[in-house]
Amino acid sequence: MQQQVHRARDLGIVVGPLPTGRHNAITDVAGVVVGHTTIDNGRDLHTGVTAVVPGQLGPGRWSLPAAVYVGNGYGKLVGSTQVDELGVLESPIVLTATLSVFRAADALLTYLMHRRPDGLSFNPLVGETNDGHLSDIRRRPITEEHVLDAITHASGEPPAEGCVGAGTGTTALGYKAGIGTSSRTVQVGDRSVTVGALTQSNFGGVLTALGVPLPVEELIPAADRTEPPGNSCMIVVATDAPLDARQLGRLARRAIFAMGRVGAAYSNGSGDYAIAFSTAQPDRPPVPDSQLNPVFAAVLDSVEEALLNSLIAATTTSGVGGRTSHALPHDAVVRRLAAAGRLTPPA
């Protein structure tokens, strides 16, 4: 039976004590919008594009403070070295499949050139994970139109999760995965700030939820599944806290650390990257480092919950070569977490 799409909190899985934003999504950071283009022919193509678009990028302000942290560099994050060198983000962040990343970068360049007809140099930022377990990745089906549609139709509403956009064909921790998102609001000094995270989950390890192991070998019979090697996770962190590039690098590191909470193996073939950016007005002084602990906690909790949402919202998918990636069985998860006393009753 096909499961209805849920989020972690629908099952009573609540990560940490911090309050969420209105939608519990990266779009709770004012001005940040998300768009998806999904390619799914029901057979051998399960892929797509996800775009995170900071609305603050525009005339009069063509860059935002940003940082990239490389947990393991087995991947292709186009444009990352300039972000690392200059500490700024100049484009929407586009996620897609490994062999389509270069076509996506060219399409993003088209978008940037159209917006800035007088510009001479641009730095599109495009990341990827390998969805070749379920999708015929060598066909490179992503076109300029797919990328531009994801960007131009991006919305501030709660982003779709699971098997959508760049997560259409991904698998993580033995189960079908995809896109996930979450957010937290925290008090920093005399101001309230929001931290939001979005993940493209496609990595290996043993799933752990609220400290309870949920190994695929026990929840899904071995004869009823196939499992690819772990191969990558992309994490995007947005915040309205006034932070400089150095401080955003500290947030990006904690985003990678949060993968360990859900059981990531950080394997040789897993390209694990985090991108963090701030939308705060440039005239605001950075938060003192001594006040960053609540922001760090917000990153860890929002990324952990986003990763769980990426699995819980996903649905069983069959793809190229007859392979099937099975969804996380919700009933079994609830039973295990209830037995361990980890579930939170509905409000």
The predicted-structure confidence for 160-181, as pLDDT tens digits, reads as follows 999 999 999 999 999 999 999 9
Calculate ∠ Cα 113-115-119, nearest 5°: 50
Instruction: Give the single-character DSSP code of 289.
Output: G
- The whole-model pTM stands at 0.97
* Dist CA 221 CA 176 (whole Å): 15
| Phi-psi label, residue 188: left if phi above 0, alpha if psi -120 to 50, beta otherwise | beta
Give the pLDDT band (50/70/90) at residue 328. very high
Give the pLDDT band (50/70/90) at residue 1. very low
Whether residue 64 contacts residue 277, with contact meaning beta carbons closer than 8 Å, is answered with yes
Q: Output the pLDDT for position 3.
A: 63
Domains of the chain: 8-338 (3.60.70.12)
Give the pLDDT band (50/70/90) at residue 223. low
Contacts of 136 (CB under 8 A, 6+ apart): 44, 45, 320
pLDDT tens digits, 37-72: 999 999 999 999 999 999 999 999 999 999 999 999
* Dist CA 318 CA 7 (whole Å): 22
Average pLDDT of span 17-33: 98
pLDDT tens digits, 113-159: 999 999 899 999 999 999 999 999 999 999 999 999 999 999 999 99
Catalytic residue check, 270:
yes
Average pLDDT of span 183-188: 98
Q: Output the pLDDT for position 2.
A: 52
Give the pLDDT band (50/70/90) at residue 228. confident
Alpha carbon dihedral 60, 35, 149, 138, in 10-degree steps, equals 120
pLDDT tens digits, 63-118: 999 999 999 999 999 999 999 999 999 999 999 999 999 999 999 999 999 999 99
Residue of 100, 272, 278, 310 marked catalytic: 272
Q: Output the pLDDT for position 229.
A: 66
Whether residue 2 contacts residue 314, with contact meaning beta carbons closer than 8 Å, is answered with no
* Dist CA 227 CA 312 (whole Å): 17
Catalytic residue check, 267:
no
Instruction: Give the single-character DSSP code of 80.
Output: H
Average pLDDT of span 196-213: 97
For residue 288, pLDDT beyond 50: yes
* Dist CA 256 CA 121 (whole Å): 30
Residue of 80, 91, 182, 270 marked catalytic: 270
* Dist CA 274 CA 297 (whole Å): 16
Catalytic residue check, 290:
no
**Amino acid (1-letter code) at residue 291:** Q
Whether residue 181 contacts residue 306, with contact meaning beta carbons closer than 8 Å, is answered with yes
In which element (H, E) is residue 245 found?
helix 245-261
Give the pLDDT band (50/70/90) at residue 345. confident
Residue of 182, 232, 278, 325 marked catalytic: 232
Mean of all residue pLDDT scores within the chain: 95
Q: Which residues is 180 bridged to in the sheet? A: 199
Q: What's the token pair of residue 111?
A: 């978008």
Q: Which residues is 289 bridged to in the sheet? A: none
Percent of the chain having pLDDT more than 70?
97
